[in-house]
Amino acid sequence: MTPALALDAIDKSFDGFRALDQARFVANAGEIHALLGENGAGKSTLMNVACGLYTPDSGTMRLFGAPTRLSGPRDAAAHGIGMVHQHFKLVRPFSILENVLLSRPPAAGDGAPYSRQARSVAQAIAAKAELLGAKVDPRARVDSLSIAEQQRVEVIKALVAGARILILDEPTAVLTDQEAERLLQTLRRLARDGATIVLVTHKLADVKRFADTVTIMRGGKTVAELDPSQASIEELTRLTVGDALPALPNEQPHFGRRRLEALDLTVRRADGAPAVDRVSFFVRAGEIYGLAGVSGNGQSELAELLMGVRTPDSGLIQFEDSGEAFSAPRPAALRSDGAAFIPADRYRFALAGALSVTDNFAIAGLRRGRYGGWAWTNIGRMRAETKEAIRAFDVQGVRSLAQKAALLSGGNAQKLVIAREFSDAPGVVVAQSPSRGLDARATAAVHARLKAAADRGAAVLLVSDDLDEVLKLSNRVGVMASGRLAAEFEQPFDRQEVGRAMVTHG
């Protein structure tokens, strides 16, 4: 049988980081082929190569046996490849019909009036919706649809464009159990009709129940291809997360009182589904509590709650230093209680890109009166301390202290944020993916700062998609799955047990 899609020896690097290393992937028509791996394993990158978003540095691609080099997503669609991304590519104020029309502009020489094109596409939408066992109103606005309905629109959009190979990236991550079941049954029907379905996922239960073949990636490499019905959950977990880490000495460090506590925190998405579902945990003085989980399971929303940039629907956040429980915490109030924040989205939540490097570093100190009062500001001290922080934290690319922060690269912007947040001795640190975008030396320095903060008595919450980072730094680990705290672990950690909790719950 000639494979529908074959990728061989694919290499892809970004700014010196090798995301794909001789990766390979082969999928046949009429099958559901699962692509399994941890966060950062290279799954999405490989499929972005397959759908034309990325051009590989080297390697070959064959579609139905023919050597192919794609010039972009539109070229991929012309070759019969459609991809439903984890973050949908829909224009929310537009109707379903308008979104589908945008994805398939008329061919050259097609002079049909817009009304005739629209009628034709509306009929195609209805036909594909019926194929999926659903009824769809092409005139409905996307922003009036639930997450599951928006995902269905993405599938319909790909099918109307003629997709014979359909790639879905983490399609059940934001769906309820019932919605996920309906989607996977629909994909099974499409495969029976001859389509090639590629299911990028982390959920082993979905792989076991619905996939005909599974390819497993780790560290940008393809490590296995097998029949999931012939492999146990334990074997799939081991291949996905690697061998268990050596057991650490079972030391029992002394921790102080609870300095940060979450009590039944709940936050709902726009469609009403819970993103964080009654989560409770605590972090003690001197402790690093790691929060692990596959992306999209509520970690980001929880971190935003604790940073005061999102309001919970219910629940409380307790800080020991003030004794106050916040139902709707404000960043200023949390900072007054000695909290420091390292958000994952540094440009949105941590930096004012239009302001200077000095202003971005000194802003927290200005609020505390470190550089004077409202009537007089010690600009010289601000500049001197910014310059020293840039040196100490190796922030590259700063040509002038007056330079806009937006001109820094992602890694150097992160270094500036970390320098500011550790400029004092915080009592609570909430760090989300703190080493993202940093090289090995900078990552080691960030880890050392987090450990030093805990050694001084701070309560450190580490939220990270990088399981190695969580296991290396944490005294305790909680696992988020489907918005819930699915499991907690004490040292010594068993990597496979933690990985199993990440991929088998929810």
Give the Cα separation of 208 and 229 in Å (integer).
6
Pair of tokens at residue 473: 């730094």
Checking DSSP bridges between strand 314-319 and strand 325-326, what pairing results, if any?
A: antiparallel
Last residue of one domain, picked from the residues 402, 425, 448: 425
Residues 6+ apart with CB under 8 A from 194: 29, 30, 164
Could you tell me if 382 and 282 lie in one domain? no
Q: Is the pLDDT of residue 249 over 70?
A: no
The CATH number that applies at residue 162 is 3.40.50.300
Give pLDDT tens digits for 336-378: 778 899 998 888 888 999 999 999 999 888 877 888 877 788 9
Integer Cα distance of 210 and 208 in angstroms = 6
Q: Which of 108-117, 160-169, 170-179 has the lowest mean pLDDT?
A: 108-117
pLDDT band at 250 (very low <50, low <70, confident <90, very high): very low
One domain for residues 40 and 140: yes
Determine phi and psi for 473, rounding to 5 degrees. Answer: -100, -25
The number of distinct structural domains making up the chain is 3
Residue 344 lies in a domain: no
Range of the domain at 412: 350-425
- The tens digit of pLDDT for each residue in 64-80 reads 999 999 999 889 999 99
Write out pLDDT tens, residues 386-398.
999 999 888 888 8
At residue 2 the predicted structure's pLDDT band, cuts being 50, 70 and 90, is confident
The answer to whether residue 320 sits within a structural domain is yes
Q: Does residue 446 sit in the same domain as residue 359?
A: no
- pLDDT class of 177 with cuts at 50, 70, 90: low
- For the cut 80, the answer to whether the pLDDT of residue 495 exceeds it is yes
Q: Residue 247 falls within a domain, yes or no?
A: no
Instruction: For the chain, give the percent of residues with pLDDT over 90.
Output: 46
Average pLDDT of span 220-241: 90
User: Is 249 a domain residue?
Assistant: no
Residue 498 above 70 pLDDT? yes
* Residue 149 pLDDT exceeds 80: yes
- Asked if residue 421 and residue 431 are part of one domain, the reply reads no
Q: Residue 106 has what pLDDT?
A: 54
pLDDT in tens, 271-298: 777 889 999 999 999 999 999 988 778 8
Distances (CA, A) of 445 to 136, 156, 419, 451: 53, 47, 11, 10
503 residue type, one letter: V
**In 293-427, beta strands by DSSP E:** 314-319, 325-326, 339-342
Question: Are residues 218 and 333 both part of a single domain?
Answer: no
Q: What is the pLDDT of residue 338?
A: 80
Query: What six digits make up the tokens of 404?
Result: 């806009």
CA separation, residue 342 to residues 109, 451, 461 (Å): 53, 15, 10
Q: pLDDT tens digit string along 198-215?
A: 999 877 888 998 999 999
Cα–Cα dist 47/341, whole Å: 33
Whether 431 is covered by a domain: the verdict is: yes
Question: Does residue 129 sit within a domain?
Answer: yes
pLDDT value for 265: 93
Tokens of 294: 């596959």
Same domain flag for 117 and 208: yes
Q: Which residues are paired to 215 by β-bridges?
A: 35, 225
Whole-angstrom Cα Rg for the chain: 25
Together in a domain, 354 and 304: no
Alpha helices (H) in 132-232, listed in sequence order: 147-160, 177-192, 204-210
- 381 Cβ contact partners less than 8 Å away, ≥ 6 residues apart: 370, 371
- CA triple 182-187-191, angle to 5 deg: 150
Of 211, 241, 271, which residue constitutes the final position of a domain? 241
Phi, psi angle pair for 129, to nearest 5°: -65, -40
Mean pLDDT is lowest, of 191-200, 217-226, 243-252, 393-402, for 243-252
Which of 370, 83, 332, 56 is closest to 220 using CA atoms?
56
Q: What is the pLDDT of residues 455-473, one digit of tens each?
A: 999 999 999 888 888 999 9
Are 481 and 432 part of one and the same domain? yes
Residue 330, domain member (yes or no): yes
Residues 214, 173 share a domain = yes
- 388 with 416, same domain: the answer is yes
Say whether both 457 and 356 belong to one domain. no
Of the three residues 214, 241, 268, the one that is the final residue of a domain is 241
Considering the chain, what percentage of its residues have pLDDT values greater than 70? 91
Residue 117 or residue 427, greater confidence: 427
- Domain contains 55: yes
Residues near 11 by Cβ (< 8 Å), separated by ≥ 6? 18, 20, 21, 22, 23, 56, 57, 58, 59
The DSSP H or E segment spanning 251 is none
CA separation, residue 422 to residues 109, 194, 231, 446, 504 (Å) = 62, 57, 47, 10, 37
Q: Clarify whether residues 148 and 263 are in a common domain.
A: no
Place of tokens 């450190």: 460
Q: What is the distance between the alpha carbons of residues 435 and 13, in angstroms, rounded to a whole number?
A: 18
- Separation between Cα atoms, residue 173 and residue 175, nearest integer Å: 6
